[in-house]
Structures are given as structure tokens and as C-alpha cells.
């Protein structure tokens, strides 16, 4: 798989984690959440420019996640 796609998938996962972490805080910062979501959407757009087929994107993402867990 292309290294760019793997880096984009990793960045998307990191942003998901940050959003979840912020949402679990007692007083979540809504501005920070909005910024993180915009960044995540930008990464998703980049991913779909490289892999426009949603089913193929899911397959690639699962493979990247599997490799990251075993690394």
C-alpha cells in the first residue's frame, strides 16, 4: 500500500482518538472538537481523492490498522 495512504489513515485514526478523548472530558472544548473534525474531514477528502472506491478504502484501512497493531 502507498505510504501516503498509510500516513493519512494513521492521521485519521489519531484525530478520531483525540476527538473521543476531548468528548470524555468533564467540560469538552467545543471549539477544539470542531477544529479536529474539520481536520479529520480534510484527511478523509484526501484519502478519497487517492482511493475513490469506498469498499476499497475500508479494505485498505483495515489492513493498515491490522499492521499497526502487530508492529
CA distance 60 to 37: 22
Contact 9, 64 (CB under 8 A): yes
Q: Whole-model pTM? A: 0.79
Using alpha carbons only, what angle is made at residue 67 by residues 64 and 69, rounded to the nearest 5 degrees? 110
The predicted pLDDT at position 1 comes to: 57
CA distance 2 to 32: 30
**Grid coordinates standing for 14?**
489519531
Q: What is the pLDDT of residues 30-71, one digit of tens each?
A: 999 999 999 999 999 998 888 878 788 888 888 888 887 776
Amino acid at each position: 500500500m502507498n505510504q501516503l495512504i498509510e500516513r493519512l489513515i494513521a492521521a485519521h485514526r489519531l484525530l478520531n482518538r483525540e476527538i473521543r478523548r476531548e468528548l470524555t472530558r468533564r467540560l469538552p472544548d467545543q471549539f477544539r472538537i470542531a477544529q479536529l473534525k474539520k481536520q479529520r474531514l480534510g484527511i478523509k477528502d484526501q484519502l478519497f481523492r487517492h482511493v475513490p472506491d469506498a469498499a476499497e478504502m475500508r479494505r485498505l484501512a483495515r489492513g493498515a490498522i491490522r499492521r499497526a497493531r502487530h508492529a
